[in-house]
C-alpha cells in the first residue's frame, strides 16, 4: 500500500508543496528516505520510530521507502517528521484516512510523540492555500502565525496521536480563526520618544523628511551628539504597517525563526542594527542554505549602521543592489534566490577618526590625510544612494537644560502619515508591476511626471549641479527629497524653497570621493 501525505518545503522565503509517499515492500525491515533530503530529514526516521513507539503505534516491519517529491528540490529541516509518521501509521494499518488528501501537514516530532514548533509556518500555509488544500495541521505553537492566512482552516496539534486521530475522523479539532482587525494598523508603545530629545531641531526636521518619503539618511557628527539616540527613535514616527506589509515581513522573520512564541504577525516595523564586524553574507544573506540577511530582515523597516566607516568596505558595497532595486539576488551552487529588501537605510559616522574635525570647542588630532582616508571608506557610489546627509552638532548646554517639552513622536508621526497618504494616492494609478508606496521608490518616468520644476527651480538646480558637481543619481534623489518636502507642506508643486532645503541635505558629496 502507498500512502500520500502533503507537506511543504521552505525555499528562500516561500514554500513549495512536497508530496510524501510511503510504501512498504518485501525485504529486511528498514526505512529508506529518498528525494534529496538533508541530514535533518535523514535523521527523521530515528525520531519517527521512537515517536511512533511512545505514542502507541508501530512502524511497518518491512522495507519501507519514504519518497519526498519532487526529487529535485532539496528538503531541509525537521518539519517532515509529522507527515512521515502519519504516512507510516496509515501504511502499516492500511488506513484510508478520509481527511488526508485535503490537508497539508508539517511538524517536528519529539521522541515522546510531542509535536514541536517549526520555522516557516506562514509561507507553508500560503502555499497550501495556493495548492487548493482546505486545511493545514501544524504544531500548536505555530497556529497563531498561520491563522493570518484567510481561506484555509488551521488546526494545531500537541502530539502525533492527536494529529492521526483527527485525520482518521476518530476525534475532532477546532480550527483557529484569526481576526484580521486584530492585525490591522495600531498604535504601539515605544520605549523611546522624540519628546526626550533636547535641541537638534534641524536634525529632527531632516529625519521627518527622510521618514515621510522613505529616504536613506546619513547622520554626521562628533561623539555624544546623539546620532544613535536619534536613530533609535525613528521607528516611533514611521507610519503603521499595512496588513500586506506585515505579512511580507512576517514571512521573512518566520523562515529565520525570529518570531516570538505565540506571535501571530509582525506589526511593528523592524529596526535592525548589526555590529560593524558583520560579514557580507550576514548583511546580504546567503550561507549554504541561502537564508535572508539583515537587509531582508529590515524589509519595510530601518537598517541602522552605526559607525559606518568601521564596516568593511566590501561589506558596504554589497548594499548597492538592495538600495537601488529594493530586492537582493543571491546566487550559490544550490541555486539563485531573490529576497525583498525595501528598507530605509540610516547610517551614522564621525567626521574624522577622533570625531572632532570641525568642532569649534574641541581640537581635532587628525591630519588632513587621516580625515580624507577615513571618509574615503565610504565610496562615492554608495554615498550617492543616501538621499540626505545631515550634520548633527554637539548639543549646547542651554538646550540640555531647557525644560520646555519637545515635540512628541506622535505629533511628528501624524505629519508623516499625512505625507505618505498623499504619496499613496499619487501612485495608486501606477502601471508598474511593483507597487510604489513612497517617493524614494519612484521610477524615472514617475520622477519626470511628479517632480516638475518651474523656470526658477530649474535654474537653481542647474547652478547647484554645476557648482557642486553632483552626479546624475544625486540629481534624481534631490528631486525626490524636494517632492517629499512639498508633500509635508501640502503643496502640489515643488517650490524653490523646497528645492533649497533638499539641496542643503547633500553637503557631503563634495567631501567624499570613491
Mean pLDDT of 12-37: 92
Residue 360 banded pLDDT, cuts 50, 70, 90: confident
> How confident is the model at residue 188, as a pLDDT?
62
Residue labelled with grid coordinates 502530539: 159
Asked if omega into 44 is within 30° of 0 (cis), the reply is no
Report pTM.
0.89
C-alpha cell at 403: 525644560
pLDDT in tens, 300-316: 999 999 999 999 999 99
Mean pLDDT of 153-181: 90
Rounded CA-CA distance 109/510 in Å is 60
The sign of the dihedral angle between the CA atoms of 459, 477, 504, 492 is positive
326 within 8 A of 441, measured Cβ to Cβ? yes
> How confident is the model at residue 335, as a pLDDT?
76
> How confident is the model at residue 432, as a pLDDT?
61
DSSP state string for 283-315: HHEETTTTEE-HHHHTTTSEEEESSGGGS-HHH
Q: Is residue 81's pLDDT more than 80? A: yes
320 within 8 A of 379, measured Cβ to Cβ? no
> How confident is the model at residue 133, as a pLDDT?
96
Mean pLDDT of 363-368: 90
Beta bridge partners of 491: none
> How confident is the model at residue 485, as a pLDDT?
97
pLDDT in tens, 499-509: 999 999 987 76
Chain-centroid distance of CA 412 in Å reads 24
Q: Is residue 512's pLDDT more than 90? A: no
The half-sphere exposure of 427 on its side-chain side, counting CA atoms within 13 A, is 22
**CA nearest to 213, candidates 424, 48, 52, 472:** 424
> How confident is the model at residue 180, as a pLDDT?
56
> How confident is the model at residue 376, as a pLDDT?
87
> How confident is the model at residue 211, as a pLDDT?
98
> How confident is the model at residue 186, as a pLDDT?
52
pLDDT in tens, 200-234: 999 999 999 999 999 999 999 999 889 999 999 99
φ/ψ (deg, to 5) at 63:
-75, 110
State the virtual CA torsion across 167, 169, 174, 175 in degrees, nearest 10.
40
Q: Which domains does the chain have, with CATH numbers?
A: 2-178 (3.30.230.10)
**CA nearest to 82, candidates 30, 131, 36, 124:** 124
Rounded CA-CA distance 459/449 in Å is 19
Give the chain's largest Cα–Cα span: 88
Amino acid at each position: 500500500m502507498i500512502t500520500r501525505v502533503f507537506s511543504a518545503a521552505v525555499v528562500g522565503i516561500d514554500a513549495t508543496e512536497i508530496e510524501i509517499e510511503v510504501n512498504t515492500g518485501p525485504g529486511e525491515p528498514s526505512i529508506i528516505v529518498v528525494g534529496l533530503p538533508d541530514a535533518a530529514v535523514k535523521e527523521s526516521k530515528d525520531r519517527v520510530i521512537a515517536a511512533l513507539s511512545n505514542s502507541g503505534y508501530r512502524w511497518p516491519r518491512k522495507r519501507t521507502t519514504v519518497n519526498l517529491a519532487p526529487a529535485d528540490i532539496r528538503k531541509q529541516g525537521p518539519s517532515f517528521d509529522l507527515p512521515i509518521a502519519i504516512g507510516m501509521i496509515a501504511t502499516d494499518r492500511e488506513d484510508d484516512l478520509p481527511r488526508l488528501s485535503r490537508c497539508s501537514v508539517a511538524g517536528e516530532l519529539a521522541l515522546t510523540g510531542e509535536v514541536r514548533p517549526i520555522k516557516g509556518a506562514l509561507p507553508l500555509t500560503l502555499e497550501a492555500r495556493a495548492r487548493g488544500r482546505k486545511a493545514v495541521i501544524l504544531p500548536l505553537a505555530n497556529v497563531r502565525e498561520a491563522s493570518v492566512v484567510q481561506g484555509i482552516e488551521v488546526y494545531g496539534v500537541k502530539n502525533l496521536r492527536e494529529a492521526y486521530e483527527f485525520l482518521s475522523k476518530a476525534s475532532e479539532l477546532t480550527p483557529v480563526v484569526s481576526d484580521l482587525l486584530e492585525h490591522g494598523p495600531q498604535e504601539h508603545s515605544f520605549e523611546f520618544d522624540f519628546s526626550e530629545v533636547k535641541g537638534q531641531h534641524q536634525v529632527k526636521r531632516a529625519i521627518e523628511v527622510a521618514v515621510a518619503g522613505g529616504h536613506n539618511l546619513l547622520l554626521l557628527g562628533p561623539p555624544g551628539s546623539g546620532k544613535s539616540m536619534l536613530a533609535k527613535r525613528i521607528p516611533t514616527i514611521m507610519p503603521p504597517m499595512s496588513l500586506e506589509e506585515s505579512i511580507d515581513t512576517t514571512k521573512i522573520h518566520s523562515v529565520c525563526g525570529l518570531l516570538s512564541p505565540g506571535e501571530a504577525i509582525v506589526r511593528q516595523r523592524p529596526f535592525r542594527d548589526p555590529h560593524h564586524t558583520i560579514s557580507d553574507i550576514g548583511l546580504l544573506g546567503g550561507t549554504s542554505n541561502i537564508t535572508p540577511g539583515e537587509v531582508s530582515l529590515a524589509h519595510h523597516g530601518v537598517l541602522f549602521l552605526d559607525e559606518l566607516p568601521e564596516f568593511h568596505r566590501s561589506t558596504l558595497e554589497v548594499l548597492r543592489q538592495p538600495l537601488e532595486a529594493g530586492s537582493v539576488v543571491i546566487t550559490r551552487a544550490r541555486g539563485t534566490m531573490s529576497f525583498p529588501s525595501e528598507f530605509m537605510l540610516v547610517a551614522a559616522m564621525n567626521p574624522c577618526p577622533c570625531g572632532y574635525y570641525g568642532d569649534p570647542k574641541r581640537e581635532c588630532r587628525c591630519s588632513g590625510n587621516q580625515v580624507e582616508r577615513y571618509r574615503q571608506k565610504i565610496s562615492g557610489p554608495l554615498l550617492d544612494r543616501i538621499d540626505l546627509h545631515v550634520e548633527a552638532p554637539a548639543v549646547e548646554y542651554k538646550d540640555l537644560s531647557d525644560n520646555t517639552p519637545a515635540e512628541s513622536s506622535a505629533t511628528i508621526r501624524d505629519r508623516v502619515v499625512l505625507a505618505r497618504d498623499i504619496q499613496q494616492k499619487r501612485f495608486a494609478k501606477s502601471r508598474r508591476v511593483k507597487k510604489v508606496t513612497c517617493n524614494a521608490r519612484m521610477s524615472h518616468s514617475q520622477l519626470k511626471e511628479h517632480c516638475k520644476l518651474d523656470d526658477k527651480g530649474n535654474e537653481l538646480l542647474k547652478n547647484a549641479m554645476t557648482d557642486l558637481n553632483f552626479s546624475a543619481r544625486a540629481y534624481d534623489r534631490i528631486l525626490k527629497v524636494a517632492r517629499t518636502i512639498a508633500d509635508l507642506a501640502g503643496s502640489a508643486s515643488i517650490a524653490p524653497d523646497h528645492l533649497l532645503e533638499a539641496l542643503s541635505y547633500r553637503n557631503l558629496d563634495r567631501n567624499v570621493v570613491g
